Structure 1
Amino acid sequence: MNKLFFLSALVLTVCFTPLPLMASDSPIKVKIIVDEAYPPYSYAVNGAPRGIYIEMIRKAGTLLNDEYHIEFESMPWKRALKEIELGHAFAILPPYIHRQARPYIGPYSVSLLTERVVAVCNKHISLKSLFQDANAQQSKPLNIGINAGYLMFTDKYKELIAQEKIKVWENKSTQANLHKLIDGKIDCYVNDSRAIEYNLAMITDVMPGEFVEADELSRQTAHIGFSNSSKGNFPYKSDFIYKLNQAISIVKEQHEKFKD
């Protein structure tokens, strides 16, 4: 082999391969804070984290056991975001990518799953007519529920919110929002379609056809987000993200239930 070619290849390999951390006797503990009220993806049972995304990252974590030990801590979503913003926490699961609205998160992991964000409304509510006729007169604003701290609305919703034709109510969880929808305290609820279906199925007194999917707002990929705060001190950040991304990709390839 040409010596110059060999040396060039060696330099490129060194430059673009993440440097390993210093060897230690035990794996580095890495904590990921997770949404405590987002079943079936991420939730807590007696404080213990559960859900599709928790299971996925646990499986990915087994591939990193020699170097890293992943732990989870469940908490309310708004509190979790604040912990990341302050640099008190390293990683959060499972945000969508909102770089401008959340500049304190970055980078993001490879995608976990794609979620379909929809508006589910009382069957008597005509949500689409609100968008079709911008000059339509309303006796009162449409009340839409959303989980506290979630960023779900597209531009057409933001415009109607600014015009006070839509009023947004933040509630603690999917269950809390659905109960307010059932009680008529809100007209619609916006969240991922799987999360809504899963939680509605657990409420026994809902009549078939009582609520309808009135609109699909977007399709969003969920991720692990990492703290970008200057106050954080996570020397293993780049190495861990690189290796976790590889592990997540392997798990998604091997397990059918973790595929979109």
Structure 2
Amino acid sequence: MRMLLMVLAGCAMHANSWASAPIDVVILCDAGYPPYSYAEGDEAKGLYTDILRTAFTRMPEYNVHIRPVPWARGLAEVASGRAFALYPPYHRPNARPWMDFSRPILREKVVVFVRAELARIRTVEHFPFGYSGLRIGVNRGFMSIDDQDYQSMLATGALKQSYANDNRTNLARLYHGRIDVYINDRLSVQWELEQMQRESIFAQSDLNWLVEGPWLSGEAGYLGYTRLNASAYPYKPKFMQRLDEILAELERDGSIERLTKSYDLVNPLYSPGDGI
């Protein structure tokens, strides 16, 4: 009898240990969206990665592995149910009916960047009327600027808008005076400016030729979950609920704001409020 009790006790301990083992979860991330989500070798980096890793430390019931992939491949894997989740898609439920979304992780900010000599003589905080006659640069594929006055000024020729492929090309155009203004995501532009400074692409060591103008808009990034192949991810409902709770906690306690500020330029750009 005593031996039987010992065996049963051992089985119970083993069962409890097995039941409490964390669930392995694989999440994909965009490998090419710095500074928000990118890869260095096989390692996931970026602001969204930092926020989610912080959240996952508060979810010990899951052992989360983050795997960087090209964006198009990640979307295809989630769309087919081969992958559990991917970050950071924008909220597009109509375009992606096969995807469920977490609560917003972070709101990205679209900002106007202006050559400093123009900011000294223009009321650049008054967008778009303070920009009449200027040349605006944007990236190809960039979301349209949802401002009726801006669109009207483009239609009448009061503003000129041109395109380049990426941040680096448009920042070089801005630096050399081929455009007057560049509009894009704030942190993405700051990240590229730092890379270009390190590579000595700009003649001067500082960025006093550039001013950060008004913030125009922004979209939030999410963790997007597949709606397909549900039997492969039985933990999905509880995982979604728990992550949303923790993301709300991180927002309330200031963790997301602190992580975001850590991605700002070491020497911030001038802004119209700085009295340039």
TM range (shorter): 0.5 to 0.7
Question: How big is the shift at 1:61?
Answer: 1.2
Structure 1 residues without counterparts, runs of 5 or longer: 1-22
Q: For 1:210-229, what aligned pairs fall within 5 Å after superposition? A: 210-228=209-227
Q: Which residue of 2 aligns with 1:45?
A: 40
Q: Which amino acid aligns with 2:34?
A: Y
Which deviations, in whole Å up to 9, do the C-alpha atoms of 1:188-231 show, x marking residues without a partner?
A: 54333233234323432265343334553213333222234x47
SS at match of 2:86: strand
**Structure 1: how far apart are the matches of 2:170 and 2:213?**
16
**Structure 2: how far apart are the matches of 1:179 and 1:112?**
31
Q: Which amino acid aligns with 1:108?
A: F
Q: Which amino acid aligns with 2:85?
A: A
- Choose which of 18, 27, 31 in structure 2 pairs with 1:31: 27
Larger helix proportion of the pair:
2
Q: Which residue of 2 aligns with 1:60?
A: 55
Q: Is the 8 A contact 2:112 2:184 kept in 1?
A: yes
Question: How big is the shift at 1:32?
Answer: 2.9
- TM-score computed with the length of structure 1 as normaliser: 0.64
SS at match of 1:203: helix
Q: Which residue of 2 aligns with 1:120?
A: 113
Q: Is the 8 A contact 2:27 2:84 kept in 1?
A: yes
Q: Which amino acid aligns with 2:54?
A: K
Q: Is the 8 A contact 1:152 1:190 kept in 2?
A: no
Larger Rg: 2
Q: Which amino acid aligns with 1:30?
A: V
Question: How big is the shift at 1:254?
Answer: 4.4
Q: For 1:116-155, what aligned pairs fall within 5 Å after superposition? A: 116-122=109-115, 132=129, 142-145=136-139, 151=143, 153-154=145-146
Looking at both structures, which has the greater relative contact order when contacts are Cα pairs under 8 Å and sequence separation is at least 6? 1
Q: Which amino acid aligns with 1:109?
A: S
Q: Which residue of 1 aligns with 2:103?
A: 110
Return closer, same or farther for 1:250/1:186 CA change in 2, 3 Å cut-off: same
Q: For 1:1-260, what aligned pairs fall within 5 Å after superposition? A: 27-39=23-35, 41-66=36-61, 68-100=62-94, 102-104=95-97, 106-122=99-115, 132=129, 142-145=136-139, 151=143, 153-154=145-146, 156=148, 166-171=161-166, 174-175=167-168, 177-179=170-172, 181-182=174-175, 188-204=181-197, 205=202, 208-228=207-227, 230=228, 234-254=233-253, 256=255, 257-258=258-259
Q: How many residues align?
A: 227
Q: Which amino acid aligns with 2:217?
A: S
- TM-score computed with the length of structure 2 as normaliser: 0.61
Which deviations, in whole Å up to 9, do the C-alpha atoms of 1:142-162 show, x marking residues without a partner?
A: 54225x6x6463254677889
Structure 2 residues without counterparts, runs of 5 or longer: 1-18, 262-276
Q: Which amino acid aligns with 1:219?
A: G
Q: Is the 8 A contact 2:138 2:184 kept in 1?
A: no
SS at match of 2:219: strand
**Structure 1: how far apart are the matches of 2:164 and 2:58?**
41
Q: Which amino acid aligns with 1:42?
A: S
